Amino acid sequence: MIAIHVITLAIIISQSAAQSIAGFGSSGGSKSGTSIGDIDNPVLQAEAYVTDARIPNPHKTNDTRRLSGTRPPRLAKGNPDGSTCVPRSVLIDDLHGAKQEMMGFGMSWTDCTVENLNKLQPGSFHNAMKELFAPHPIGNDMGMMRHTIGSSDMSGRQYSFCDNGPSFNEGEPDLNLETFALGEDGEAMVNMIKIMGEYKGNVFLIGSPWSYPGWMKHNGLAVAQRLNTGTSYNNLNNSFDRQYTKQAVAYFTKYLDAYKACGVQVNAITLMNEPLNYQGGYPCMFLDAADAADILNAGLGAALQERNVSLLAYDHNTDQAAYPMRVIQRAPGFVHGAAWHCYAYLANYTVLEDFHEAFPNTPQFLTECSNYRPRAGALNWAVADAFMLPTQFGSSGSTMWVMATDANYGPHAPWGGCDACSGAIIVNSSTAYTKTSDYYMVGQFSRFVRRGARNYKVLRGIEGDISTNGQFGIVAINNPDKGWVIVFKNNMNRTETVRLSFTGSSHVWEGTIDNATVTTWLIPSDKVLETSGRNAPSSMHFPFFLDKNVTTNTTCPSPTTAAPTSTSTSTETPRLPVPNTTHSIPQNDLANQKPTSLPTCPCTVSH
């Protein structure tokens, strides 16, 4: 009895020391219900799903497996009878290895996503939204989404919510933000996000701007000129002008209130997408960590707290890890999480562990990673790496970049930015869309990991990293129903036989993970197994074994070969010159100017 109390106490201490997402809200909506892995929808028997990493040939049907049911793991004990090889031993520390709570996985709302989905006729639109947000087995059940505040490089038209001029690059200072309005594209986005709530009501929604209105910047331009065609060069004056700090505070609060008036609760914001990226050709802006903290201290931090909106610091690559620390230290009490991107080469996610050591109660998220021009026949691990690696090192959730495009990766800015970012859906016509490999890869995670689940430490079984030729990746997540979601990435050039055990649970599971795949195992909780062992319902059948003495007969798999990871050889799309880049704004002392009242939003929901 004493030993049981000690084990229980160890679990409580371990979980209390891990990052929590308690206090983060959801965007709201009319859709309620449960998903697989929730407390009232538990996993009752072992299941497995697989997606091939090879990008399918568009001219062939059934070319690859995509979220396909596959051989589930089976309860086992001892060495497999007749086996000619030793299985890969995987050990999960379910006693002391509790790490961060999970928010979920998803993608991003961009103007091109909204525009393309709005092209679909009502029936096709309904089907697309179900496949994106409905629970498994119908849809991807994405529980964490990001959206752009104003335009981005994935916008066919550039705008902010307060341009105050004939175009985005010809605005004059509007000190009271009297011309603030979401505009046609902004209203289209908030209406689309509101519709999302009809398909999934508990989404964690993050808003991020790519630039502030041009008149809030030193160069007076929302989109700066490209300094060298074909190369990314930063513009030193493409940066926030701190004399407009109070206007920046008002800009964010007006945006949040406008969304709320339209029935959408934004749950978190970042102050700038990629604040250390200030190149030209698409909306970008340098925002120093000190300026970010000053915006919070000047009133935005308090305004966010009043509106139950969290602040995620940074929103950029892992190679400048001091940035979120500087914001936290300069604006204490106003930062609720850190946001990272995947684009530093090679992305070093051990930074997340270092950050956790310094700020153990601050959740972290991977808020952007993009797949670029995937090539048919090649292996593509973009989604798997963006979701698995940050999770291993402390991220509570990940969002991929653009969710839907047309067949030409657009609409997107013609002057710069990403010209071939691929999404989960390609809209081909008003009645037809194609789900890409990214759709299925995202689903390997988002369909099965529930909000409030907890990631656990994997003590044994992981091999290699993105700098090595072969990798065997594992994440082990315990859902609210106490069942397990185990996701494997096998890039070892051979099928792997896996024996999965725990430091606490006595159950041992065994199965095979095919080469060049992402495979997700759903494993019932010990309570389900023990209850079923005493009184197994007739619906439970092979391969759901209730006897721990059951073994599997396994043979050593033969090595297989596969194409290398995709590297595009396509040439870059020709870039057009950015318009109206000669516009300038006189510098004035605006420190004592104060903005006025907040707007309301006209809301019209279609479809």
Residue listed under structure tokens 């029936």 = 123
Q: Give the whole-angstrom CA distance, residue 596 versus residue 415.
A: 35
With H, G, I as helix, E, B as strand and everything else as coil, classify residue 226: coil
147 three-class SS: strand
Residue 607 burial (10 A CB sphere; 0-12, 13-18, 19+): middle
Q: How far apart are the first and last CA of the chain?
A: 60
- The token duo for 429 is 């016509």
CA atoms of 455 and 447, how far apart (whole Å): 16
Report d(CA 187, CA 487) in Å as an integer: 38
Query: The tokens of 230 are what?
Result: 């074909």
Distances (CA, A) of 408 to 76, 212, 405, 418: 49, 28, 7, 12
Residue 510: active-site member: no
- In sequence order, the 6+-apart residues with CB closer than 8 A to the CB of 116 are 404, 405, 406, 425, 427
- To the query of whether residue 368 is one of the catalytic residues in this protein, the response is yes
- CA distance readout (Å), 583 to 75, 166, 214, 218, 535: 69, 11, 10, 12, 77
Instruction: Give me the catalytic one of 47, 368, 496, 510.
Output: 368
Catalytic residue among 274, 306, 357, 572: 274
The per-residue DSSP string of 3-60 comes to HHHHHHHHHHHHHHTS---TT------S-----TTSTTS---S-EEEEEESBPPPTTS
Phi/psi for 5 (5° steps) reads -65, -40
Please state, in angstroms and rounded to a whole number, the distance separating the CA atoms of residues 414 and 575: 6
User: Which positions are catalytic?
Assistant: 274, 368
